[in-house]
């Protein structure tokens, strides 16, 4: 079996599973047209209304809701639920994909991990970085692979079973158990999943203020000569809470950050914000909710007085730097990273300024780090899933309306796609499935279906199985398709199965 990692060089990467682009025979004219438009725009780095084409593709994706004769559906409605889950309906062949996916069981993944142990690294290591929208990918994967006898270790060193982690214990105390954790299999030796909480991926481990984070962003996209040479650099406080179970100390915190001079902050390129406004941003006049998030996290972390034992870390910059400087042998085999709705939860002076910092500047901040990392391992950037705008965006807990809308999310989607670093996979193949799940929710809500009467997905409660009453997350049933996509990308090259990317391992 060919070692896909090719020692210390850039990994060979199959794009067929994660990226929309290639076409196949027997596609409908509409699907073929949408894929050609998306593919052409990617190659030429053009902006366009991407969400429209993903939503059109969703109409040919499997649906979980079926129309029925008047009054014969759920709770006397006109809709009922399909007999098979979404992935099983498609038999692994989704209309917008050029190849077929395999429906992996836990036993088949165990066999895959055994085959991968024969490679130079001898293990299968997945790293997820981001917020709850990507963490829920991991949760669905844990449910799917529970037969591998999984052990979950939290950032505090507490060990949980899958049942505890996904059940009431984990749901009721998610900040305690789900903010940073490692998953290991006692049955499939060498199988590891790490999750690193990073609501704002362009921040460091523990940014001290909004001013510091803005300075750091600008430093990332300006030449070093543009930095104020008269200001000394000082690093963030060290945080070694993860090193107790992360190997080789990759995840122990150590970094040096710089501060940029005010007269250079206007050099932020390709943004709309007026030059005279930008210095005000750096001076801290903006009232960002990120400060409140950090305060809230610090209060809910079991009143821990030690920064190394709480869950206030909200960034990924330091982690990416540590990965880039780590020995190749200790790197994860694949890194999944996302950024989305948290970036839109801001109080900026203008809407254009809001979009500049949440899309363009954030992407530029991460670009060089992700490009370097993609030269050493597989990096996958998750395109932001759509928001369910049929669900009100009034958050009673805060007493305010959220800023997150699909109109703003469209800016994020375009910026992230256009500023995608070379070598980084842009995972947009799941978006048609996400839009299809959104359409299912709209059908159920329009019929006033009592969601307690619809089937739950595996062990998960109905509300999170479908997430039809919640604005930000995709239902766990739909996420099971994303999990199968990830497993196919990881395992198919190591198993002679004739599915997507399986031929990729042959010279």
**Phi, psi (deg, nearest 5) at residue 297:** -60, -40
Looking at residue 212, its pLDDT comes to 52
Query: What are phi and psi for residue 152, nearest 5 degrees?
Result: -110, 125
Q: How far apart are the first and last CA of the chain?
A: 9
Neighbour order of strands in the sheet with 378-382: 159-160, 150-154, 180-185, 191-197, 124-130, 334-338, 378-382, 425-427
219 domain residue, yes or no: no
- Whether 275 is in a domain gets the answer no
The answer as to whether 52 is a domain residue is yes
Give the model's pLDDT for residue 288: 43
DSSP letter (8 states) at residue 264: G
Q: Does the residue 17 lie in any domain?
A: no
| Number of domains the chain is built from | 1
Specify if 187 maps to a domain. yes
pLDDT of 194 reads: 97
What's the pLDDT score for residue 355? 73
In a domain, 424, yes or no: yes
Q: Quick one: pLDDT at residue 156?
A: 86
- Give the range of the structural domain holding residue 54, as residue numbers without chain letter: 29-205+293-505
H-assigned helices in 173-268 = 174-177, 210-221
pLDDT of residue 2: 37
Give 311-369 as a DSSP string.
------HHHHHHHHHS-GGGS-SEEEEE--GGGG----SSHHHHHIIIIIIHHHHHHHH
* Cβ 120 vs Cβ 7: under 8 Å: yes
Q: Flag whether 241 is in a domain.
A: no
pTM of the full structure: 0.81
Q: What is the pLDDT along the chain (507 residues), one digit of tens a residue?
A: 334 444 455 567 899 999 999 888 889 999 999 999 999 998 888 888 899 999 999 999 999 999 988 788 998 899 999 999 999 999 999 999 999 999 999 999 999 999 999 886 889 999 999 999 999 999 999 999 999 999 999 988 999 999 999 998 888 887 788 889 999 999 999 999 999 999 888 887 765 454 555 555 545 444 443 333 332 222 223 333 333 333 333 333 333 333 333 333 333 323 333 333 333 333 333 334 444 444 444 443 333 333 333 444 578 999 999 999 999 999 999 999 998 777 776 555 566 777 777 777 788 889 999 999 999 999 999 999 999 988 876 554 444 456 678 888 888 888 888 888 999 999 999 999 999 999 999 999 999 998 888 999 998 998 899 999 888 899 999 999 999 999 999 999 998 778 999 876 543
**Are 139 and 349 spatial neighbours (Cβ–Cβ below 8 Å)?**
no
Residue 257 lies in a domain: no
Q: Which helix (H) or strand (E) holds 113?
A: helix 106-116
* 95/82 Cα distance (integer angstroms): 18
């Amino acid at each position: 079996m060919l070692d896909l990692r090719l020692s210390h060089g850039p990994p060979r990467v199959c794009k067929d599973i994660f990226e929309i682009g290639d076409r196949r025979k027997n596609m409908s004219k509409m699907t073929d047209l949408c894929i050609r438009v998306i593919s052409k725009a990617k190659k030429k780095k053009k902006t366009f209304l991407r969400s429209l084409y993903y939503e059109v593709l969703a109409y040919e994706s499997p649906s979980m809701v079926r129309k029925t004769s008047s009054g014969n559906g759920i709770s006397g409605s006109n809709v009922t639920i399909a007999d098979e889950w979404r992935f099983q309906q498609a038999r692994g062949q989704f209309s917008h994909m050029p190849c077929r996916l395999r429906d992996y069981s836990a036993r088949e993944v165990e066999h895959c991990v055994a085959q991968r142990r024969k490679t130079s690294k001898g293990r299968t290591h997945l790293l997820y970085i981001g917020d709850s929208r990507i963490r829920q990918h991991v949760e669905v994967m844990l449910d799917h692979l529970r037969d591998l006898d999984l052990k979950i270790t939290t950032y505090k060193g507490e060990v949980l079973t899958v049942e505890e982690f996904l059940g009431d214990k984990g749901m009721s105390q998610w900040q305690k158990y789900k903010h940073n954790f490692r998953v290991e299999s006692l049955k499939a030796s060498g199988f590891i999943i790490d999750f690193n909480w990073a609501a704002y991926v362009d921040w460091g481990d523990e940014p001290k203020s909004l001013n510091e984070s803005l300075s750091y962003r600008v430093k990332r996209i300006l030449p070093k000569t543009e930095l104020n040479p008269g200001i000394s650099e000082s690093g963030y406080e060290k945080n070694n809470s993860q090193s107790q179970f992360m190997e080789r100390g990759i995840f122990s915190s150590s970094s040096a950050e710089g501060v940029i001079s005010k007269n250079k902050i206007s050099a932020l390129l390709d943004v709309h914000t007026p030059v005279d406004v930008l210095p005000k941003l750096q001076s801290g006049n903006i009232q960002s909710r990120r400060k409140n998030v950090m305060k809230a996290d610090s209060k809910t972390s079991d009143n821990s007085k030690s920064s190394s034992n709480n869950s206030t870390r909200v960034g990924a910059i330091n982690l990416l730097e540590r990965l880039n400087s780590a020995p190749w042998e200790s790197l994860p085999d694949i890194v999944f990273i996302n950024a989305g709705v948290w970036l839109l939860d801001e109080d900026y002076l203008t809407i254009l300024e809001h979009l500049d910092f949440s899309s363009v500047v954030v992407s530029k901040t991460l670009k060089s780090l992700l490009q370097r990392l993609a030269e050493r391992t597989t990096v996958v950037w998750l395109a932001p899933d759509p928001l369910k705008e049929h669900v009100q965006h009034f958050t009673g807990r805060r007493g305010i309306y959220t800023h997150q809308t699909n109109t703003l999310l469209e800016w994020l989607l375009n910026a992230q796609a256009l500023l995608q670093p070379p070598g980084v996979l842009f995972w947009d193949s799941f978006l048609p499935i996400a839009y299809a799940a959104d359409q299912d929710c709209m059908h159920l809500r329009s019929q006033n279906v009592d969601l307690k009467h619809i089937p739950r997905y595996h062990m998960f409660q109905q509300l999170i199985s479908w997430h039809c009453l919640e604005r930000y997350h995709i239902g766990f049933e739909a996420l099971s398709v994303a999990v199968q996509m990830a497993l196919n990308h990881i395992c198919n090259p190591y198993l002679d199965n004739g599915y997507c990317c399986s031929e990729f391992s042959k010279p």
